[in-house]
Copies of this chain bind each other. A is one copy, B any other.
Amino acid sequence: MIGLDRLSLNQMTVHRLSVAETADLCARHGIPAIGLWREPVAELGVRESAAAVRRAGLHVSSLCRGGFFTRADAAARRAAHEDNLAALEEAAALEADTLVLVSGGLVPGSRDLGLAQRMISDGIAALLPRAAELGVRLGVEPLHPMFCADRCAVNRLADALDLAGAFPASQVGVVIDSYHVWWDPRIGADVARAAGRIAGYQVCDWVVPLPADALLGRGHLGDGSIDFRALTGPVLDAGYAGYVEVEIMSEKVWDAPADQTAATVKDRFAAILG
């Protein structure tokens, strides 16, 4: 179905490693691409991070993350905009395929979902001129509905597509993460509709019971509830030709030796998506 030449390791899967250590890990295991996060990139420095991944021969499939557009006052919105402009620069320096956007939840002090969604749309629009100059593509990631209140008020792929659809596909795509969308019985049709807009595809499994921090209820492919072939088929049929990122947020996975994690990532990817 899909070869290991399209595997990317998102560094969140080996959360305790630095950018340089993660890049070395990928090189050691023959993983051709990496997904990066801004905080560890900032720790090493953007230029040094770009050099580290280039030295390791890696492609950067994504940078996480910009967004968090939903703020209660103009000053906070300006600060978020400035931070997003910085994220654009970083994504350009890293030559990342996409800057992943996590949009932000309800506006503090408000229960108005429509307001949050308009603020998200406005926030994206404000980034486009600079994103175009830098050649960075934005990827709107719908997050699971359980994160609507406090993290991301864009929760189904259908809604992310409605949002992205107001902008050129070359500038604003969507990022599909199995953890967030697998439950949706309309996901196949929505993925088909996403053709030309898929800026990233991330995979990890849904493991029950959810832990206290529902962000961390994830597992290696095959350890949970998700039918990965059923989801990946439509993604490929829609023409997605980019990397497939394995991004697992899980205390258990983080506690495992990184080389064991990388080996398991490759084994499961080959067994389930190969």
Asked whether B225 lies within 8 Å of A106 as measured between CB atoms, the reply is: yes
In the complex, A113→B184 CA distance in Å? 9
- In the complex, whether A129 has a CB less than 8 A from a CB of chain B is no
Asked whether B185 lies within 8 Å of A113 as measured between CB atoms, the reply is: yes
In the complex, A185→B160 CA distance in Å? 11
- In the complex, whether A132 has a CB less than 8 A from a CB of chain B is no
Count of A residues near B, CB < 8 Å? 34
Asked whether B185 lies within 8 Å of A150 as measured between CB atoms, the reply is: no
Asked whether B146 lies within 8 Å of A184 as measured between CB atoms, the reply is: no
In the complex, A149→B214 CA distance in Å? 14
- In the complex, whether A183 has a CB less than 8 A from a CB of chain B is yes
Known: A112-B230, A155-B184. 17 other contacts (CB 8 A): A106-B225, A111-B227, A112-B227, A113-B185, A114-B185, A144-B145, A144-B146, A145-B184, A146-B214, A148-B183, A148-B225, A149-B183, A150-B208, A153-B183, A156-B184, A159-B186, A209-B213
